[in-house]
Amino acid sequence: MINKSRSTRYSIFLFFICLGLCPAELVQRFTLQNGPAPFHGLPLSVDIEGLVSEADFDNLVMYEVRGNATLPMQSQFQNELNAQIWFEPLKPIAAGETVILELHKGKAEHRSFVSARMDDQTITLCSEGNNILSYYHALHPVPEGVDPVYRRSAFIHPLYSPKGHVLTQIQPADHYHHYGIWNPWTKTHIEGKEVDFWNLNKKQGTVRFADLLSTASGSVFAGFKVLQEHVQFLPEGKERVAMNEVWNVRAFPAVVESPVWIIDLTCTLYNNLAVPIELDQYRYGGGLGFRATEQWTKDNCSVLTSEGKKRAEADGTRARWCDINGGFNDTKQTSGILFLSHPANREHPEPMRVWPENSVGGKGEMFFEFCPIRHKDWVLQSGKEYVLKYRMIVYDGKLKPETMEALWQNYTEPPVISRRTD
């Protein structure tokens, strides 16, 4: 079973309209102006600060005006730094197209299509009963006979495709410190002393879950915000938190040629010490690391970057986006992840680490990373915050290269939405 298509979800809204749940009180009209790239109908948000009172926060719906029809969209309120309404356009928006939107309050049928649920080990994001991903907040044990130093928390696994294929792996025998989707720093120096948060066997440091800050569920997206600690091990069994990091993860079901998961990951790093932290230039470290399922090998796994590089030539190059696609042993199906780097990121277009085809004893398993320190050191100053933003488009089958490019433009230059005065 896969998530319902946009047309099915749209039909649900039409059903409620037929029951008489039509637009009630108009709050504000907006103009949506699309840019030069086709917009694939991905979720959008608009600032509604000051437009409604707190009592109406859970009673808002965004509508799309098409001719004489005013059609409801999946809508979800969010109030973090400011009040926003998230909504899902009913269909793709052409390049240069203008769309009129209306925000209404009144009786609305809020259906929780996307949810975040937490148990004693994980936070799992789901769409209508289909798992999208799990985040481990608990300390994950290691296989029998493996040094317990490899235990850790604060990583994403499993990551699923919309059809349910598992796309990540953890603790592979060749690299016990690999954990699905994760981002520790490798060659780090603090007060002249090396601290490796990546290679756990060095026993110099680790990364761990520290606190759940929030979760979100609703008709448009589910997500969570967590605090993670980069811990430096000190002599005599002592330790200190060198860096605090906040992961803000959101997952949106959408349709791009076929059903996809859209996963936004924002990492905010904070130097917790009174001294600078030096992130040394190296081919591994930070950014966004991905260890693919063991089923993706040199025989069935392909790479394509925004600069046209394939697997054999991608390592060490820079890209705005990178597509990793692979097959499975028990089916002829393929799945993939389109990794998008935000232009605000350090060293964008970002350097990458892409394992060559002779990795893991010639099997050619896949590791990918956006690596902002691949070619240049990075110094984190005391008391400063640093932000890295990424989007993952998780899909089954294949995506066209022109679609990949449009999706990056949709991410970095979404349509402009402005309030109307009429």
pLDDT, tens digit (0-9, with 9 covering 90-100), for 74-131: 999 998 878 999 999 988 999 999 999 999 987 666 555 899 999 999 999 999 989 9
Position 421: which residue type? T
Q: Does 422 have pLDDT greater than 50? A: yes
CB 229 within 8 A of CB 257: no
Reported confidence tier of residue 15, pLDDT bands at 50, 70, 90: very low
CB 278 within 8 A of CB 185: no
Query: Could you give the 3-state DSSP secondary structure of residue 201?
Result: helix
User: Considering the domain 114-412, what is its CATH architecture?
Assistant: Distorted Sandwich (2.70)
Nearest-CA neighbor of 124 among 36, 198, 215? 215
* Cis, peptide link before residue 259, omega less than 30° from 0: no
Which residue has 């330790």 as its token pair?
A: 239
Q: Does 395 have pLDDT greater than 50? A: yes
- H-state helical runs in 30-185: none
Segments of the chain assigned to CATH 2.60.40:
6-109
pTM of the model: 0.93
Query: Could you give the 3-state DSSP secondary structure of residue 413?
Result: coil
Segments of the chain assigned to CATH 2.70.98:
114-412
* Contacts of 81 by beta carbon, 8 Å cutoff, 6+ apart: none
Residue 245 class from Cβ within 10 Å (0-12 exposed, 13-18 middle, 19+ buried)?
A: buried
Nearest-CA neighbor of 339 among 319, 318, 355, 323? 323
CB 420 within 8 A of CB 295: no
The total of other beta-carbon atoms located within 10 Å of residue 35's CB is 16
For Cα atoms 260, 261, 266, give the angle at the middle one, nearest 5 degrees.
145
Distance from C-alpha of 206 to C-alpha of 230, rounded to nearest angstrom: 6
The total of other beta-carbon atoms located within 10 Å of residue 107's CB is 12
pLDDT computed for residue 390 by the predictor: 98
* Cα distances (Å, whole numbers) of residue 271 to 22, 278, 283, 309, 383: 51, 10, 22, 35, 5
Reported confidence tier of residue 6, pLDDT bands at 50, 70, 90: very low
Mean pLDDT calculated for residue range 276-289? 97
* Contacts of 326 by beta carbon, 8 Å cutoff, 6+ apart: 292, 293, 295, 296, 297, 300, 301, 302, 334, 335, 336, 366
- CATH class of the domain defined by 6-109: mainly beta
DSSP string, 387-412: EEEEEEEEEES---HHHHHHHHHHHH
Nearest-CA neighbor of 32 among 74, 67, 64, 72? 64
